[in-house]
Amino acid sequence: MARDSISNSVIRRLPRYHRFLGELEANGYIRISSRELSEKMGLTASQIRQDFNCFGEFGQQGYGYNVSDLRREIGNILGLDKHTPMILIGAGNIGKAIASHLDFRSKGFVLTGAFDVNPEIIGKPVGEINVSDISELESFCAENKPVSAILCVPTSVAPAMTEKLISCGIKAFWNFTHYDIRIEHKNILVENVHLGDSLTTLSYGLNRIDEEGER
């Protein structure tokens, strides 16, 4: 039975389910049981069934799940059938790489604008679009109503830029700066990536392996 509030742990597993089901589909799988999927993904079958049942009854007793049906259902839950307009703020190294590395459309978004302060970058292409001067941000937003933004500016200007973007109507932030966007505003969504923290975690793990070796 579909629940009202889904736990964050479940939500974070959904994209991974979607990804794995895509691979299975590509490999010609028609059906899969929770047990088989659990082995492929390193989860328990129980957890998988619990997760899916947060949203509805997608399986069939005695049979399992239809791979492409299940994948489509999860895709819809994730909003991947939409194309939410997204803009890139800061088109330097990391911004450019992210914009051109990912397929936004298959993830529920479409990149409609990119902005920077650097005259050497302005006018140059990033993915399918050209970089605009940041001074054009407000008029662009008024006209095109983007609802989400990738934040790839220097950390120092991140807080002010966040405020400005909110005033321009941005509702969701994909944040690559080293600044933690804190959600004092209601109904503003933030996904803090923090690649530095991710790398630091790896350092922690390596040190534990080393310690074991020393014993």
Partner DNA sequence: TAGATTGTTAATCGATTAACAATC
- Contacts with a copy of itself by CB under 8 A lie at 11-12, 14-16, 18-20, 42, 77-80, 82, 84, 93-94, 96-98, 100-104, 107-109, 147-148, 171-172, 174, 178, 180, 182, 187, 189, 191, 193-207, 209, 212
> If contact means CB under 5 to 8 A according to the sort of partner, which of DNA, a copy of itself, none does residue 35 touch?
DNA
Residue choice 16, 23, 46, 197 for contact with DNA (CB under 7 A): 46
* Chain centre distance of CA 97: 15
Residues near 91 by beta carbon (within 8 Å), at least 6 away in sequence = 99, 114, 115, 116, 121, 124, 126, 131, 152
Q: Under rule CB under 7 A, which residues in 95-124 are in contact with DNA? A: none
Q: Which is nearer to a copy of itself, 19 or 60 (CB)?
A: 19
> If contact means CB under 5 to 8 A according to the sort of partner, which of DNA, a copy of itself, none does residue 26 touch?
none
The pairing of beta strand 64-66 with beta strand 59-60: antiparallel
Query: What is the closest distance, in whole angstroms, from the C-beta atom of residue 100 to a copy of itself in the complex?
Result: 6
How far is it, in rounded angstroms, from Cα 23 to Cα 42? 15
Q: Which residue in this structure is represented by tokens 């957890």?
A: 47
Burial class (CB in 10 A: 0-12, 13-18, 19+), 70: buried
Question: Is 77 near DNA (CB under 7 A)?
Answer: no
Of the candidate spans 50-58, 87-95, 116-124, 132-140, the one that interacts with DNA by CB under 7 A turns out to be 50-58
Q: Which residue in this structure is represented by tokens 């895709």?
A: 75
Burial class (CB in 10 A: 0-12, 13-18, 19+), 201: exposed
Chain residues that interact with DNA, rule: CB under 7 A: 1, 7-10, 33-35, 43-47, 49-50, 52-53, 57-65
